[in-house]
Structures are given as structure tokens and as C-alpha cells.
Amino acid sequence: MWLKLALGLLIATLGTAAGGEEITSGSAFLSPDLRRQQDDPTRNPAWFWVEQGQELFSRKPGASQACSQCHAEPERSLRGAATHYPRVDAGTGQLLNLEGRIEQCRVERQKQPAFGYESGELLALTAYVASLSRGLPMDVETRGPAQPFYDAGRAFFERRQGQLNLSCKQCHDGLVGQKLRGDTISHGAGTGYPAYRLEWDGVGSLHRRLRACSLGVRATQFDYGAPEYLALELYLAGRARGLPIETPAMRR
């Protein structure tokens, strides 16, 4: 299947997204039934992670303050925060996604050990904080200090990689709407993550999905939170500017 796709990609026209149309959310490529399930909190299993995150947000870790003690009324104070991530941290100059910001607060302010990527706690907290911005448009900064990271992410997106010699752009610009292993190729917008994927039978981060793509083209899988994936995440977020956050989304 992958070899057949690779041969088709060699003659695919590259450039603008799928012939120049607007970038659309991954939800646009779901079946009607799955979209209805995603939009119903009583049927979308990802809301269990959001509820766990809400509980963690209010829990004091040891003698430290709870997140809610700094961020009172999070439904108001953190509304819209997730729309600006990934972003460059002014203090360190590092690019942080939402998971990175939560880990930074836990280590530096709560004086607790980091949860670690893909841990249940970090996925739950990230899903909860992102859900507070549900429905608001993505609005990441891609200029100024963010420009080098954004450019690196675009270069990653356009670079052919792996044994199959494929780039992200060839699928997510050139073959949008076509089928791959029973799934429909989307524009690659990450506006629903952390998301519940049926193939995972659970919630996972965008970086877990990126690692799966790297494996699919038989390229190097970078670590969760690696600079390469952070830069790519910023570029994807820039492409998705104006699309609403859908966390917690469902995907196949």
C-alpha cells in the first residue's frame, strides 16, 4: 500500500494545499456518525481525560499550590490560552507547546517532578486546559522570535524523508481527501489534540501522531517533545490559523 502511494506521489502536483483550497480541520474528514460522537460529550470518551485533568488542576501536589490557586476561575482566566501554543518562552527563548508549558509550571513553580510525555496525568491536564479554548480560533505567533522555529517546521514539512522518500507536504497538500489504509488523508491540522484515536483506544498527543507518521514512511522517529516535532507543530498551527480548537477531538 505504501509503495503504491509512493509511486502516486512522485507525479503529484505540489505547492498549495490540495489545489489551493483552505486548510480544514481533521473533523471535516470524519464520517457523520463519528463526528456526531465527537461532538457529544456523553459519547466522546476523551471527555474522561478532560474530567481527570480538571480534578488534577484543583489538586495540591504535596505541599505545593494547586494549579487553580494561581489560575482562579480557569474557564475565564485560561480561556483562549491554548490558541497561542506553541509559543516562544520569553525567559528561555525555547519553543514550548502546551504540554511543555504545563511541565514548566509543574517543575519550576510547583517544585514537582515532570509528569513526562504521554503520561496519563500530562495528557489529562493538557486536554483539560485545551478544552477551555474549545471553539476559539488558533492564533499562534510565527514571526519575531518564533520565525526560526516556524521556518524549521516548514522545512521539515516539505522535506522528503525515510525509505519511502516522502514528505508531509506530499500527503497533506497533494493527496488530501484520498484514502490511506481506510483513513482519509487530511490537511494535518492538530487542532483536536490531545485526541482520542480509535486505533489507540485512548487519548494521545499530537507528537504521538507525528511519530506514527515518521514510522509510516520509515523515517527517524524523534523523541516526544523533540525540537524537530515542536517546530513542525508550530508550522502546522500556523497553517491552521483561524481554525477552532476542537480538543478533545476524536480521530480514526
pLDDT tens readout for residues 67-100 = 999 999 999 999 999 999 999 999 999 999 999 9
- Take residue 191 and report the three cell numbers written for it: 487542532
For residue 214, which of 164, 149, 249 has the smallest C-alpha distance?
Answer: 164
Go through 39-52 and write b for each residue having 16 or more CB atoms within 10 A of its CB, e for each that does not. eeeeebebbebbeb
Whole-number pLDDT of residue 17: 54
Q: State how far the Cα of 71 lies from the Cα of 77, in Å rounded to an integer.
A: 6
> Can you tell me whether residue 210 is helix, strand or coil?
helix
Whole-number pLDDT of residue 135: 97
Instruction: Write down the mean pLDDT value for the chain.
Output: 91
Confidence grade of residue 181 (pLDDT, cut at 50, 70, 90)? confident
- Rounded to an integer, the average pLDDT of 140-165 is 97
Q: State how far the Cα of 59 lies from the Cα of 53, in Å rounded to an integer.
A: 10
Residue range 191-232, pLDDT digits in tens: 999 999 999 999 999 999 999 999 999 999 999 999 999 999
- Rounded to an integer, the average pLDDT of 111-129 is 97
Q: Contact, 46 vs 127, CB < 8 A?
A: yes
Confidence grade of residue 21 (pLDDT, cut at 50, 70, 90)? low
- Cα 49 off chain centre by: 16
- Rounded to an integer, the average pLDDT of 167-172 is 94
**Cα three-residue angle 196-95-146, rounded to 5 degrees:** 115
- Take residue 54 and report the three cell numbers written for it: 480538571
